[in-house]
């Protein structure tokens, strides 16, 4: 088993009048050669966007983009003709594929938007762009794994990669295990709220840990905890640069 521990205090920071963003991996102006990616997971941004502010139209290609709304709302518009409001509890997914343009703006005049946005390299390049958005009730992750996005789709959003986005809320002293789906898979655990222990490492709010070369992981909650687990192929850097 191999482990990478990523304390919240080691993340990159972009702070402006309208945006407070933390980067788990190298992004925009922030570069850390030790944090380019974790397998096929390329981006995990923790964003707070001020009311009526946001990102104007900008391009993406050959990336699976998953946005998890924690609170507030976000208006999405894109070159595929989609205009949507993403609200707390909802998850948005885009296959950027051959290329899309989109904007993301806080549609509230009073409340901040708080969200996690993750980018995953796809299984194959130049796919047809697509969009999906779904609501996931909080009761579905209370002491159980709630699958937000998977390669199979169905009750979860379908992603074009052998990636599993899973969320769980644990009670104090609750222990949970998660079995990986293959020997070339790894898992990146991000603590949204609370505190947990994972294979001897104590993680607090917004801490993260990556593990690979193992069959399953065990998580024990020290207090009420909300965790996001991303199971991901541990691809080689040549795929990222290709």
Calpha distance 156→22 (Å, rounded) = 27
**Beta pairing, strands 12-15 & 2-6:** unpaired
SS3 letters for 87-101?
ECCEEEEEECCCCEE
pLDDT score recorded for residue 241: 43
Query: CA torsion angle for 173, 209, 89, 138 (degrees, to 10)?
Result: -20
Determine how many CB atoms are found less than 10 A away from the CB of residue 215: 10
Fold for domain 2-241?
A: Jelly Rolls (2.60.120)
SS3 188: strand
pLDDT score recorded for residue 85: 98
| Local mean pLDDT, 10-residue blocks, the chain (242 residues) | 97 97 97 96 98 97 98 97 97 97 97 98 95 98 98 96 98 98 96 97 98 97 97 71 40
pLDDT score recorded for residue 235: 75
pLDDT score recorded for residue 237: 44
Calpha distance 196→210 (Å, rounded) = 14
Report domain extents, the chain: 2-241
Calpha distance 188→95 (Å, rounded) = 21
**The whole model's pTM is what?**
0.95
The helix (H) or strand (E) run that includes residue 67 is strand 64-71
């Amino acid at each position: 088993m191999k482990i990478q521990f990523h304390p919240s205090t080691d993340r990159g920071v972009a702070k402006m009048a309208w945006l407070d963003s933390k980067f788990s991996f190298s992004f925009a102006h922030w570069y850390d050669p030790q944090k380019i990616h974790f397998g096929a997971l390329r981006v995990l941004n923790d964003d707070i966007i001020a009311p009526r502010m946001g990102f104007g139209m900008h391009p993406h290609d050959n990336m699976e983009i998953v946005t998890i709304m924690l609170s507030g709302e976000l208006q999405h518009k894109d070159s595929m003709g989609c205009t949507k409001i993403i609200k707390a509890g909802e998850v948005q997914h885009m296959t950027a594929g051959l290329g899309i343009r989109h904007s993301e703006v806080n549609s509230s005049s009073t409340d901040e938007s708080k969200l996690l946005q993750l980018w995953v390299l796809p299984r194959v390049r130049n796919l047809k762009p697509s969009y999906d958005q779904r609501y996931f009730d909080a009761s579905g992750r209370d002491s159980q794994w709630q699958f937000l996005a998977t390669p199979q789709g169905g009750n979860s959003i379908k992603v074009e990669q052998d990636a599993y986005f899973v969320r769980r809320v644990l009670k104090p002293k609750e222990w949970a295990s998660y079995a990986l789906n293959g020997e070339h898979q790894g898992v990146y655990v991000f603590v949204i709220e609370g505190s947990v222990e994972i294979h001897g490492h104590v993680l607090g709010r917004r801490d993260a840990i990556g593990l690979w070369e193992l069959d399953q992981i065990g998580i024990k909650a020290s207090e009420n905890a909300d965790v996001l687990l991303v199971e991901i192929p541990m691809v080689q850097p040549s795929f990222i640069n290709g």
